[in-house]
């Protein structure tokens, strides 16, 4: 519920931004896409920081765009306006942008991209360095995240590997990387949606709007090239693309509804309205069917059975789904997590010299059981299967295996 509310908050700012950029008609299409694209609905039901991050990023976009157009309407020189209108939007934009980065550091790409688009649509580059409102936005945007990094690093000892392994230079030369990236982007925003959003760029006439849209598209491109491993393997890394495409559809929506208003007879407009309703119904019904096809209730009994089998005193290594979160949530069992095949692939792509046998020996030391619930991933890990072949299978359950690490097959009586 909380995550869904965050996503809906983002819809409010999508509408406000699209309305101010183009028109109310264009804003309707932008909001419809943002709220009804299937992946956005699924993502809004996932309790992760990303829906809140996207909502705050979109709120920042609206505020910084309001700052740009308010300075234009006031005829403000590079040093600010006399009535303080620009200062209001600058301070609000800085605070919200800083909060977005504080929620998740990767938001900085989209905050900076949106800011540069709006600023360069209003000022020349050299003027930005002499504008106190720009400096105010920048300082307010940096402070929350910087304070948390300093405190977390120096006091709590966090962030040791948060950004490591995200950029793998070799992937940039691999055609497969771009195909996988496109596949994830298509999963999130749809190939047709992305195409129409990009076409919307060609319908823009105002300099500020064009610069802003190019700024947020450029931010996504740079973001994807930097986080190249995750953008091509984790679909939710493209979640901000939904907001980018939605805003970019605004010029197209304005053009469409203008043509619709020029339609001759009432029955033609009525027929077009029915077609639009069909599109909405079709999307909602598809999402409903997807949700109804998944039932997590059997998971409760499944993990409860595993917990009873493992016992409460066992020390466990596990190859399991969601880095052990299902085991912890439903099974109330902590475990040392064995890396998935995807984690091992990432290590290979980074050029790390890994020794699976050494890793296995270090991981299972002083452990009593090895639990395997992700049998599909287990089938991909030939080396792990070979190492575990030396240990007896204690339990062959329905969808899981438990190996006894305290005995080997040679020492079995």
Cβ neighbours for 356, distance < 8 A, ≥ 6 positions apart: 344, 383, 384, 387
CA angle 278, 45, 18 (to 5 degrees): 60
Mean pLDDT of all residues in 273-280: 85
**pLDDT tens track for 351-362:** 666 788 899 999
pLDDT above 90 covers a percentage of the chain that reads 55
CA dist., res. 408 & res. 147, Å (int)? 51
How far apart CA 121 and CA 28 sit, in angstroms, is: 24
244 plus 307 within the same structural domain: no
pLDDT of 413 strictly over 60 = no
Q: What pLDDT score does 43 carry?
A: 93
Residue 289 in any domain: the answer is no
Any idea of the CA torsion for 380, 381, 383, 386, to the nearest 10 degrees?
Answer: -80
For residue 100, give the 3-state DSSP assignment: helix
Does 284 map to a domain?
no
Q: Looking at residues 265-273, what average pLDDT do you find?
A: 74
**Is 413 domain-assigned?**
no
* Class of residue 243 by CB neighbours under 10 A (exposed 0-12, middle 13-18, buried 19+): buried
C-alpha 274/C-alpha 211 separation (Å) is 36
pLDDT of residue 79: 42
Residue at 373 is within a domain: yes
**Can you spell out the DSSP letters for 146-177?**
HHHHHHIIIII---SSSSTTS--GGGGG-HHH
Q: pLDDT band at residue 69, thresholds of 50, 70 and 90? A: confident
Which of residues 262, 289, 305 is at a domain's end? Answer: 262
Domain membership flag for residue 150: yes
* 57 lies in the same domain as 105: yes
pTM (2 d.p.): 0.85
Q: Are 161 and 115 contacting, i.e. CB atoms less than 8 angstroms apart?
A: no
Count of CB atoms situated within 10 Å of the CB of 59: 23
- CB of 193 within 8 A of CB of 132? no
- Final residue before a domain boundary, out of 262, 288, 323: 262
Q: Which of 262, 283, 318 is the last residue of a domain?
A: 262
The pLDDT assigned to 205 comes to 85
Q: Is 201 helix (H, G, I), strand (E, B) or coil?
A: helix
pLDDT at 342: 86
**Which is it for strands 316-319 and 369-372: parallel, antiparallel or unpaired?**
parallel
Q: Is the dihedral of CA 173, 175, 176, 177 positive or negative?
A: positive
Average the pLDDT over 194-215 and give the result: 92
Residue 353 lies in a domain: yes
48-58 confidence digits (pLDDT tens): 999 999 999 99
Counted domains in the chain: 2
Q: Both 230 and 306 in a single domain? A: no
285 within some domain:
no
Helix (H) or strand (E) holding 341: helix 341-349
Structural domain containing residue 329: 297-404
- Whether residues 325 and 212 share a domain: the answer is no
123-172 pLDDT tens trace: 787 877 888 888 888 899 888 888 888 887 777 766 655 555 678 888 89
CA neighbours closer than 13 Å in the CB half-sphere of residue 255:
13
Among 121, 24, 23, 16, smallest CA distance to 61 is for: 16
Cβ–Cβ < 8 Å for 56, 96: yes
Angle (CA) 306-312-318 rounded to 5° is 50
pLDDT at 82 over 50: no
Identify the band that residue 77 occupies on the pLDDT scale cut at 50, 70 and 90.
Answer: very low
Q: How far apart are CA 57 and CA 43, in angstroms?
A: 16
278 contacts: CB under 8 Å, gap ≥ 6: none
Question: Does a structural domain hold residue 9?
Answer: yes
Helix and strand counts by DSSP (H, E) for the chain: 21, 5
Give the Cα separation of 309 and 98 in Å (integer). Answer: 48
* CA dihedral (63, 66, 70, 71) positive or negative: positive
- Whether 216 and 313 share a structural domain: no
Q: Do 249 and 303 have their domain in common?
A: no
Report whether pLDDT(85) > 70.
Answer: no
Are 156 and 79 within one domain?
yes
Q: Rounded distance, CA 196 to CA 246, Å?
A: 10
Residues 149 and 251 in one domain: yes
How far apart are the C-alpha atoms of 144 and 96, rounded to whole Å?
Answer: 10
Q: What is the pLDDT of residue 37?
A: 94
Buried b (16+ CB within 10 A) or exposed e, 313-345: ebebbbbbeeebebbeebbebebebbbbbeebe
Q: Are residues 84 and 219 in the same domain?
A: yes
Examine the domain organization and report whether 16 and 131 are in the same domain.
Answer: yes
Helix (H) or strand (E) holding 393: strand 393-397
Q: 13 and 92 in one domain?
A: yes
Strand residue runs (E) in 237-315: none
Same domain membership, residue 18 and residue 139? yes
pLDDT for 112-125, tens place per residue? 999 999 988 887 87
């Amino acid at each position: 519920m909380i995550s869904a509310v965050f996503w809906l908050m983002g819809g409010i700012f999508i509408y406000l931004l699209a309305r101010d950029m183009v028109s109310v008609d264009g804003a309707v299409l932008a909001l419809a896409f943002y709220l009804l694209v299937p992946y956005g609905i699924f993502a809004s039901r996932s309790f992760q920081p990303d829906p809140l991050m996207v909502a705050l990023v979109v709120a920042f976009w609206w505020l910084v765009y309001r700052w740009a157009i308010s300075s234009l309407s006031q005829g403000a020189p590079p040093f600010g306006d006399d009535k303080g209108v620009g200062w209001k939007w600058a301070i609000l934009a800085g605070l919200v942008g800083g909060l977005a980065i504080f929620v998740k550091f990767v938001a900085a790409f989209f905050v900076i991209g949106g800011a540069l688009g709006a600023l360069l649509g209003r000022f020349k580059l050299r003027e930005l360095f002499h504008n106190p409102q720009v400096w105010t936005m920048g300082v307010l945007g940096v402070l929350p995240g910087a304070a948390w990094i300093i405190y977390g690093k120096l006091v709590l000892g966090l962030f040791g590997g948060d950004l490591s392994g995200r950029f793998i230079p070799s992937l940039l030369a691999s055609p497969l990387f771009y195909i996988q990236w496109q596949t994830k982007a298509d999963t999130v925003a749809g190939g047709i949606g992305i195409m129409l959003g990009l076409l919307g760029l060609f319908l823009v006439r105002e300099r500020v709007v064009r610069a802003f849209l190019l700024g947020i598209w450029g931010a996504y491109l740079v973001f994807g090239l930097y986080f190249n491993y995750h953008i091509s393997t984790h679909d939710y890394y493209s979640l901000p693309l939904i907001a980018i495409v939605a805003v970019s559809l605004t010029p197209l929506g304005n053009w469409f509804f203008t043509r619709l208003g020029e339609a001759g007879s009432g029955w033609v407009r009525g027929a077009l309205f029915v077609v639009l309703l069909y599109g909405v119904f079709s999307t909602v019904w598809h999402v409903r069917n997807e949700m109804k096809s998944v039932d997590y209730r059997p998971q409760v009994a499944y993990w409860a059975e595993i917990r009873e089998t493992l016992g409460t005193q066992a020390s466990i290594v596990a190859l399991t789904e969601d880095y052990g979160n299902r085991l912890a949530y439903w099974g109330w069992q902590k475990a040392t997590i064995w890396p998935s095949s995807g984690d091992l692939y990432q290590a290979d792509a980074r050029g790390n010299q890994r020794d699976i046998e050494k890793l296995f020996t270090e991981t299972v030391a002083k452990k009593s059981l090895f639990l395997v619930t992700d049998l599909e991933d287990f089938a991909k890990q030939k080396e792990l299967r070979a190492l575990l072949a030396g240990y007896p299978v204690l339990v062959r359950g329905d969808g899981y295996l438990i190996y006894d690490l305290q005995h080997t097959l040679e020492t079995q009586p």
